Amino acid sequence: MQTIKRMCTSILAGTLLCVAGAADPSAATQPTSGVDTALSALVASPERSAPFVARDGARHPAEELSFFGLQPGMSVVELWPGAGYWTEILGPYLAARGHYTVALPKPRADGEDEGLAHWSARVEQQKARLGTIVRTTLGAGQYEIAPAGSADLVVTFRNLHNWMHDGDADAVLTACFRALKPGGILGIEDHRARSDRPQDPKAEDGYVRQDYAISLAKQAGFEFVAASEVNANPKDTKDWPEGVWTLPPTLALKDKDRERYQAIGEADNFVLKFRKPAP
């Protein structure tokens, strides 16, 4: 099902664990703890959009952002924000003391980018609450997501498979590395593929092996820090007829076996934390 937001890098698949094998031994799991109470309060805000709030049980926003080390005074870049789930949290959290940049996909030539239109409309409706948001462009040859060495934290949620599909994941990760300060953090969440099957370099089913994602980031120069299981879902067997989009929230098969897929829930997702090495 071609519902993926397409956009980013080509990869030398032969060097990136694209065949089944053991997981990266450095991929230790780190429990998510020490959740920021101010962040939890924002997640509980009645001003957030109801459809987003309904997904909190699957996405655990306060726990995930705390795992990445988010703090109010940081300069943060979010890549490809979708409809704005994370923008509604990051915007007000950073409004007073921080700096928030959103790297948006390049608008389509036909002007029919529904996701980008929804994000823009939502930001306009909540601009007083969300604060100042700097907009940059990511993809289609444009990779300057922020001034070099300016960001404390770069985050992206369920987008890596799109960039793999479009053949520019390496360019995106290089852009992240360039934008971060030495010691800065890159946080990546995506749909976790089975470790007993070869990785499709194009990620056509929307799933990415965790060891493969770690290898991509390391090739861009990052150090792997830790993984969190906050968004793990053991019910996801990752063998669905329409790939990850068979499951909620997309439910690509519509009413066919709808109750079954709703009972499984959203995909099994890895949450990975990387650091740009200090000189």
- In 193-255, alpha helices (H): 210-219
- Asked if residue 270 is part of any domain, the answer here is yes
Residue 115: predicted pLDDT? 83
Residue 30's CB is within 10 A of a number of other CB atoms, namely 13
Q: Is 215 a domain residue?
A: yes
Q: Domain tally for the chain?
A: 1
- Closest by CA to 212, choosing from 155, 157, 169, is 169
Question: Which residue, 154, 188, 215, 201, is CA-closest to 270?
Answer: 188
d(CA 162, CA 158): 8
Residue 11 has pLDDT above 80, yes or no: no
Residue 7 falls inside a structural domain: no
Residue percentage of the chain with pLDDT more than 90: 81
Say which DSSP state 144 is in. Answer: -
Sheet strands (E) in the chain: 75-79, 99-105, 133-138, 151-157, 180-191, 223-228, 269-275
Question: pLDDT averaged over the chain?
Answer: 89
**Reduced to 3 states, what is the DSSP secondary structure of residue 224?**
strand
pLDDT at 112: 58
Mean pLDDT of 81-93: 97
2 part of a folded domain: no
Domain containing 71 equals 13-275
pLDDT recorded at residue 19: 31
pLDDT of residue 23: 38
- Identify whether 74 is part of a domain: yes
- Is residue 243 pLDDT above 60, yes or no? yes
Q: What is the CATH number of the domain that holds 84?
A: 3.40.50.150
CA 110/CA 53 separation, integer angstroms = 32
* Mean pLDDT calculated for residue range 32-57: 91
Residue 173 forms part of a structural domain: yes
In a domain, 75, yes or no: yes
pLDDT of 63: 97
The CA distance from 33 to 64, in Å, is: 9
Amino acid making up residue 250: T
Span 168-211, pLDDT tens digits = 999 999 999 999 999 999 999 999 999 999 999 999 999 999 99
Tokens 């090495």 — which residue?
Answer: 277
- What pLDDT, on a 0 to 100 scale, did the predictor assign at position 14? 32
> What is the arithmetic mean of pLDDT over 246-265?
98
- In a domain, residue 4? The reply is no
Task: Fill in the amino acid letter for 30.
Answer: Q
What local confidence, expressed as pLDDT, does residue 29 receive?
52
